[in-house]
Amino acid sequence: MAGITNFMQGRSKRILVPGGAGYIGSHTCVELINRGYTPVIVDNFVNSSIASVDRIRQITGANDVPVIEADIRDTAEMVRVLREHECEAVIHFAGLKAVGESTAQPLDYYSNNVQGSLSLLEAMKQAGTGHIVFSSSATVYGTPVSLPYTESHPLAPTNPYGMTKYAVELMLNDLVASRAGINAGILRYFNPIGAHPSGLIGEDPNGVPNNLMPFVAQVAVGRRPHLNVFGNDYDTPDGTGVRDYIHVVDLAEAHIAALEKLLASPDSFTVNLGSGIGHSVLDVVKAFEQASGRDIPLEFVDRRPGDLPAYWADPTHAMELLGWQTRLTLEDMCRDQWAWQSGNPNGYPDVKIGAA
């Protein structure tokens, strides 16, 4: 519908997408294009490949996807890009996201995630851009006081990465309250996995994956001998950790719903993005074995320090406010992850910046 409206207006709305070459950003760019928007990608490629932009063009047939290599901490450059492309809103994915690394290098995380977001907001003020969707995380809740997590659950992150997300949420809330002409949609993601069904874009972690799904997929494709399961003595149905996994395409669609809410109404909001269903590590392994037809050898090892036993979302608020809910299942997530992993066993090809 938005696509038709924009077409009839003769020009599609441009949306700045910092971090748009990354995992969730690339999937959201596809959905933006599908709905008639033009994403303007800004990325410094610290954790992504320019090849993903080429794949976005391949999936959508859009040749006019602007991509600017820049760091969001360069405020003047952000102002320039927002003005030149007349962006109406920002969907902000740019940041670092590895929990363990954030403990070892906290200043990098505060610089990229907090200073970076501050710079972007300053640029939006200067350029007069009035809407921002922000990638937050369920990690802001910390140890569950009650489950499922609702948006009013106390916020007490337990690692520097989570603290940076919390800090940006506070900054956004204060900015909104100051009536600076900016409204914000804060999205608290649970565990995004899967890939676009085309198998052309997906998660391409550097080095040894930290997260469960890319690790499982690399075992299935033969890049790693077995999965270490971190703990089988939790108080969960099978003893392994339980999480609320969400298909990255469902997540991308939620960004469109959030964007359109911000464009249509002055209010700001914070919502959980999850399915409301918890799956254990062994549930994921079993579903992946079925989807791929491959065995996933595993070993039970000690718990990973800092891991919580189990948590999942209450997704009611997102449904009531945005009219959005997940539609894809764990089986869909595993099937699409396998299409990506088996089609791209070593991730994206090496492409020089500027070649895509």
Q: Which of residues 64-83 bind ligand NAD (CB under 6 A)?
A: 71-73
**Binding partner of residue 228 among ligand NAD, ligand UFG, none, CB under 5 to 8 Å per kind?**
ligand UFG
Which entry of 109, 161, 189, 234 is annotated as an active-site residue?
161
Q: Alpha-carbon distance 215 to 203, whole Å?
A: 11
Q: Is 292 exposed, middle or buried (0-12, 13-18, 19+ CB in 10 A)?
A: buried
Query: What backbone torsions phi and psi does residue 317 show, to the nearest 5 degrees?
Result: -65, -40
Residue facing ligand UFG at closest CB distance = 241
* Residue 300 lies near ligand UFG (rule: CB under 6 A): no
Instruction: Name residue 32's amino acid.
Output: L
* Residue 54 lies near ligand NAD (rule: CB under 6 A): no
**The binder of ligand NAD chosen from 23, 37, 109, 288 (CB under 6 A):** 23
Q: Alpha-carbon distance 18 to 41, whole Å?
A: 6
* Residue 192 lies near ligand NAD (rule: CB under 6 A): yes
CB of 276 to ligand UFG, least distance (A): 14
Query: DSSP string covering 75-127, please?
Result: HHHHHHHHHHTT-SEEEE--S---HHHHHH-HHHHIIIIIIHHHHHHHHHHHH
Query: DSSP string covering 43-62, please?
Result: E--TT--THHHHHHHHHH--
Helix axes 51-60, 23-34, angle to 10 degrees: 30
CB of 109 to ligand NAD, least distance (A): 10
**Going residue by residue from 95 to 134, which x/- string records binding to ligand UFG, judged by CB under 6 A?**
--x-x-----------------------------------
> In the chain, where do the E strands start and end?
14-18, 38-43, 67-69, 89-92, 131-137, 183-189, 191-193, 227-230, 242-243, 245-247, 269-273, 279-280, 298-301
Query: DSSP string covering 303-317, please?
Result: PPTT--SB--B--HH
Q: Which of residues 83-142 bind ligand NAD (CB under 6 A)?
A: 93-97, 112, 116, 135, 137
* Residue 12 lies near ligand NAD (rule: CB under 6 A): no
**Binding partner of residue 105 among ligand UFG, ligand NAD, none, CB under 5 to 8 Å per kind?**
none
Q: Alpha-carbon distance 33 to 51, whole Å?
A: 17
**Which residue, 115 or 211, is less far from ligand UFG as judged by CB?**
211
The DSSP 8-state label assigned to residue 222 in this structure reads T
Here the tokens at position 154 are: 């106390």
Q: Which of residues 208-267 bind ligand UFG (CB under 6 A)?
A: 210-212, 215, 227-230, 241, 243
Select the span of 23-31, 65-73, 207-215, 317-325 touching ligand UFG (CB under 6 A): 207-215
**Binding partner of residue 116 among ligand UFG, ligand NAD, none, CB under 5 to 8 Å per kind?**
ligand NAD
**The binder of ligand UFG chosen from 12, 28, 139, 341 (CB under 6 A):** 139
Catalytic residue flag (residue 161): yes
Asked if residue 275 lies in contact with residue 51, where contact means CB atoms within 8 angstroms, the answer is no
C-alpha angle with apex 23: 337 to 217, nearest 5 degrees?
30
**Going residue by residue from 60 to 99, which x/- string records binding to ligand UFG, judged by CB under 6 A?**
-------------------------------------x-x
Q: Which residues are catalytic, by number?
A: 161
For ligand NAD, the binding residues (CB under 6 A) are: 18-19, 21-25, 43-48, 71-73, 93-97, 112, 116, 135, 137, 189, 191-192
For ligand UFG, the binding residues (CB under 6 A) are: 97, 99, 137-139, 190-191, 210-212, 215, 227-230, 241, 243, 281, 304, 307
